Structure 1
Amino acid sequence: MEWLPNFFIAGAPKCGTSTLHRWLAAHPQALGAREKETCFLADPGTHTYRRDFHVSNGMASWSTAFDPPRPETRVIFDATPDYLYSKTALRVIPDMPGAPKCLFVLREPAAQIFSIFRYFQNNWNWIAPHMSFSDYIDALRGGGARFGGNELAERALGNAQYLDHLAPWRARLGEERLKVMTFERLTRQSREAMEEIAQWLGLDPGFYDGFDFAPENQSYVPRSRALQRINVALRGTLPRGAAYRHLRALYRRVNTRAPAAPSAQERRVLTELRRDFRPANRALADAFGLDLSAWEAVA
């Protein structure tokens, strides 16, 4: 093939990567995959692995996930946040032609785990609708919890120990090809964050003056679980495109609502998680020179 991705939004799940993908794909000098997550470098055995579309079959088929680059295209990017945990991605990306760069967006761990819980329980059906957040955390701490083979749901506590996963990436990529940003900065200082990313990638940062920084892929609660089961069963079989996006928007208007604020019990669990993650967060801040004061503020 004549081209490969030269930039990856490689982590972490439920940290605003869908929003970041849309914002970056809107830039005339950037080309994102037609579907946000190609999962081309997923590890075998994970729930996103596809035998028929995988690097083990060769690189050539990767291009089918993208439209052809335009003359002005400078960045071709794949936004698959599971790559943070993928041994295949860690092995392949650093040695790819063109020395690709990787961006990792991290969210305060308790909030990220809570978002994982809500997303896989409501937007999908990996976590049973009757399971409370407290019971979910107890199941994770007990070990051996299975959620239909979804490793992101099963390993949420360990996955939020970000330093353990980022250190091998820095060792393979080096400092110049890796950037770490917080979800909190991306959402609260969107224009400044996107201008910084654009400059790092060699794109015109002026594109983001006056840009509409609307969020994407937010968690929801289905009004009817029966309709949601049908939605989950069908949506993977439908071709992606304008018709798919129209049907998705219609479904969300009819059968979804915004999730409620955390309950008193959920707030107690979140407080405990934030206390438990505090040492790991401080180690992460020291190792990568990050300002995690926004994480401390909610602790």
Structure 2
Amino acid sequence: MTGRGARVPAPVKRVVHFGSRSYGRVTAPARMLPSFLICGGQRCGTTSLYRALAAHPAVLKAVLHKGVHYFDTSYHRGMSWYRAHFPLRRTALKVEQRFGMPAQTFESSPYYLYHPQAAARIARDLPGVKLIALVRDPVERAHSQHAHELARGFESETSFAKALALEPARLCGEEDRLAGDPRAYSFAHQHHAYRARGEYATYLARTAARVGRGWIHVVESERFFAEPSMVYREVLDFLGLPHLGDPPFERHNARPRPSGMDPGLRRELAAYYEPHDDALATWLGRTPGWRR
């Protein structure tokens, strides 16, 4: 017997998702495309912001998955496949009739910010789309990602320090390979870029060169969790959505760390990120909170 809160078996879930996507492809021309995306960064509170925005009455979230990963790892599937993940336009019309404002839909794929092909693809296929990028203390982000990849079975090196030491060899040539081959995939680039993913300003600049700086809103995740209502209102203003009350603000996907970080390693990483944090300050309009 299955209760209301019972977990759906993985094989059943796969069948349901396959059927839903198949129906979605058939109805793709009648479906919405996103007006905004949460594009990163990984382990920066993207799920928490996604849940808050999905609670807005005029926002319709992607069906099946919060992260479609079309513009990074599934671009070869085509736009009909991508459209299949979003609500029907008739659903959006009902929302507009009920609330007196156009409905918006979105998804959240944190690998978009880091993948070298994603920004150009987004600019080409979704002109005028708005992007939200979350950032956090890159030292904490790297440590959190390592714990996350371990828990998911995507990392075999249990020592964070050793995983950092392995990173240059793991990523050697992968960025260029991904940039040069539209069908290429790199497991290491997606799952083992602990240090590299914290160079936020580099990837924001690359994205801005494709979509325009005015179409990107950067959120400092520490501030989002400290002042959720204020940050939420700022995001709504960026998206052109009215404030109709605050949703529940909760932390999602937090994982325990298997061990603390060596103080010497923390100092080394903080020094490494200092110039990157200085560059990020121009995006935030202030020194990042973790540097103050």
TM-score class, shorter: 0.7 to 0.9
Aligned to 1:65, the other structure's residue is in SS state: coil
Aligned to 1:207, the other structure's residue is in SS state: coil
Match of 1:201 in 2: 239
Output the amino acid matched with 1:20. L
Match of 1:65 in 2: 85
Note if contact 1:104-1:181 (Cα within 8 Å) is conserved in structure 2.
yes
Output the amino acid matched with 2:286. D
User: Which deviations, in whole Å up to 9, do the C-alpha atoms of 1:164-208 show, x marking residues without a partner?
Assistant: 111121122223211111111111111111111112112121321
Distance 1:161 1:5 in 2: 27
Aligned to 2:117, the other structure's residue is in SS state: helix
**TM-superposed deviation, 1:24:** 0.7
Does 2:189 align with 1:162? no
Aligned to 2:67, the other structure's residue is in SS state: coil
RMSD: 2.2
Aligned to 2:244, the other structure's residue is in SS state: helix
**TM-superposed deviation, 1:277:** 0.8
**TM-superposed deviation, 1:60:** 1.6
1:1-299 to 2 correspondences below 5 Å: 1-2=29-30, 3-34=32-63, 35-42=65-72, 49=73, 54-68=74-88, 69-70=91-92, 71-72=94-95, 74-97=103-126, 99-122=128-151, 124-128=152-156, 131-141=158-168, 143-144=169-170, 149-208=187-246, 211-220=247-256, 259=257, 263=260, 265-286=261-282, 288-297=283-292
Distance 1:16 1:190 in 2: 11
Output the amino acid matched with 1:61. W
Match of 2:182 in 1: none
4+ long deviations beyond 6 Å: none
Aligned to 2:213, the other structure's residue is in SS state: coil
Output the amino acid matched with 2:194. A
Q: What stretches of structure 2 of length at least 5 have no aligned partner?
A: 1-28, 96-101, 173-185
Distance 2:114 2:209 in 1: 15
Note if contact 1:75-1:201 (Cα within 8 Å) is conserved in structure 2.
no
Distance 2:191 2:231 in 1: 29
Distance 1:289 1:199 in 2: 16
Note if contact 2:281-2:288 (Cα within 8 Å) is conserved in structure 1.
no
Higher deviation after alignment, 112-121 or 88-97: 88-97
Distance 1:132 1:145 in 2: 18
Higher deviation after alignment, 56-65 or 5-14: 56-65
Note if contact 1:8-1:77 (Cα within 8 Å) is conserved in structure 2.
yes
Provide the TM-score with structure 1 as the length reference. Answer: 0.73
Q: How many residues align?
A: 240
Provide the TM-score with structure 2 as the length reference. Answer: 0.75
User: Which deviations, in whole Å up to 9, do the C-alpha atoms of 1:29-78 show, x marking residues without a partner?
Assistant: 11121311101111xxxxxx3xxxx3434312223223334332522111
Q: What stretches of structure 1 of length at least 5 have no aligned partner?
A: 43-48, 221-258
**TM-superposed deviation, 1:119:** 0.5
Distance 1:89 1:293 in 2: 26
Distance 2:253 2:87 in 1: 22
Structure 1 pair 132–36 and aligned structure 2 pair: CA distance change class (3 A): same
Aligned to 2:214, the other structure's residue is in SS state: coil
Match of 1:46 in 2: none
Distance 1:185 1:97 in 2: 29
Percentage of pairs with the same residue: 23
**TM-superposed deviation, 1:289:** 4.5
Structure 1 pair 199–268 and aligned structure 2 pair: CA distance change class (3 A): same
Distance 1:281 1:22 in 2: 27
